[in-house]
């Protein structure tokens, strides 16, 4: 049973046999990536509901501080996000989304603690069981699962990059609500991967032989993407769609993928 199976079956009864217990140990060991045990992180995240419920009911021995609970950098997951997690996976759209929802989750949890401390149990229970808290909690759990799948195979950067093709195709075909601008798209420092390459990525990987090749490939890709967008905005939709599938844009996209794979292969050596 992998992490995804565990997440979908996490509310079932605990395993009773020794064989199942041994399997659980193997899952625990197999879900640690880049210094974070994803199963333990999800476990700790899910326990927040019980901790908050006990605090509201006055049955908790914890002295929760709303000023601390509302911060997203104080729990083990938050420290990983702002530490090694961001350094290694900050380019990933999935990581970025998880970070944002995790921050929102803690703001919601802080509001619950404040309501409880004000003596308004009804409001605190309502916030805990309905609305933003519930949504944010579920999103964090799902995004952690998705991130685990991606980081296990070094697919995060490639995943974020591949989405560009879908975004451009949707825009050209009129299926997108995004306000894409040629000047912004042509720049290589505006997307999540670009920000990572100029920040944490540079700090962690600039010593590797392939890092500069990735940066050059990424810059060339965005120039080509800008050209596709410019053609589309001129009303030449078929030409723009063809450019996405073949020619300079397609070559630049393939080159980014291959250099990223090489970069992360060097990281493991």
CATH code at position 124: 1.20.120.30
Residue 6 counted as domain residue: no
Domain tally, the chain: 2
Q: Which 3 state secondary structure label does DSSP give 1?
A: coil
Q: Tell me if 163 sits within 8 A of 192, measured CB to CB.
A: no
Residue 3 counted as domain residue: no
Distance of CA 172 to the CA centre of its chain: 27
pLDDT at 14: 40
pLDDT at 159: 67
pLDDT at 252: 87
Instruction: Tell me: do 46 and 147 sit in the same domain.
Output: yes
pLDDT at 267: 56
The residue segments making up the domain with residue 160 are 156-268
Q: Of 99, 119, 152, which closes a domain?
A: 152
Q: Which 3 state secondary structure label does DSSP give 33?
A: strand
pLDDT at 79: 92
Instruction: Tell me: do 110 and 144 sit in the same domain.
Output: yes
Sites in the chain below the pLDDT cut of 50: 1-30, 268
Instruction: Tell me: do 100 and 214 sit in the same domain.
Output: no
Instruction: Tell me: do 105 and 170 sit in the same domain.
Output: no
Instruction: Tell me: do 41 and 132 sit in the same domain.
Output: yes
Distance CA 31, CA 110 (A): 29
pLDDT at 155: 59
pTM surpassing 0.85?
no
Instruction: Tell me: do 141 and 192 sit in the same domain.
Output: no
Residue 2 counted as domain residue: no
pLDDT at 16: 40
């Amino acid at each position: 049973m992998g992490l995804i199976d565990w997440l979908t079956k996490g509310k079932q009864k605990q395993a009773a046999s020794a064989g199942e217990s041994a399997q659980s140990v193997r899952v625990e060991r197999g879900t640690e990536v880049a210094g974070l045990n994803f199963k333990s992180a999800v476990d700790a995240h899910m326990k927040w509901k019980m901790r908050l419920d006990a605090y509201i009911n006055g049955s908790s021995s914890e002295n929760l501080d709303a000023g601390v609970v509302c911060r997203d950098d104080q729990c083990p997951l938050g420290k990983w996000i702002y530490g090694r997690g961001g350094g290694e996976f900050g380019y990933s759209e999935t990581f970025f989304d998880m970070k944002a929802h995790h921050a929102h989750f803690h703001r919601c949890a802080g509001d619950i603690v404040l309501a409880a401390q004000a003596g308004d149990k009804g409001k605190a229970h309502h916030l805990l069981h309905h609305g933003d808290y519930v949504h944010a909690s579920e999103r964090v759990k799902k995004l952690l699962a998705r991130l685990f799948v991606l980081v296990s195979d070094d697919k995060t950067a490639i995943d974020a990059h591949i989405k560009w093709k879908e975004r451009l195709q949707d825009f050209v075909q009129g299926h997108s609500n995004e306000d894409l601008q040629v000047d912004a798209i042509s720049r290589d420092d505006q997307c999540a991967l670009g920000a990572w390459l100029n920040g944490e990525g540079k700090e962690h990987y600039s010593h590797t032989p392939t890092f500069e090749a990735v940066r050059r490939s990424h810059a060339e890709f965005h120039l080509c993407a800008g050209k596709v967008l410019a053609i589309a905005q001129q009303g030449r939709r078929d030409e723009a769609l063809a450019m996405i599938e073949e020619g300079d844009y397609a070559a630049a996209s393939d080159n980014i993928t291959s250099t990223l794979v090489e970069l992360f292969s060097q990281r493991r050596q």
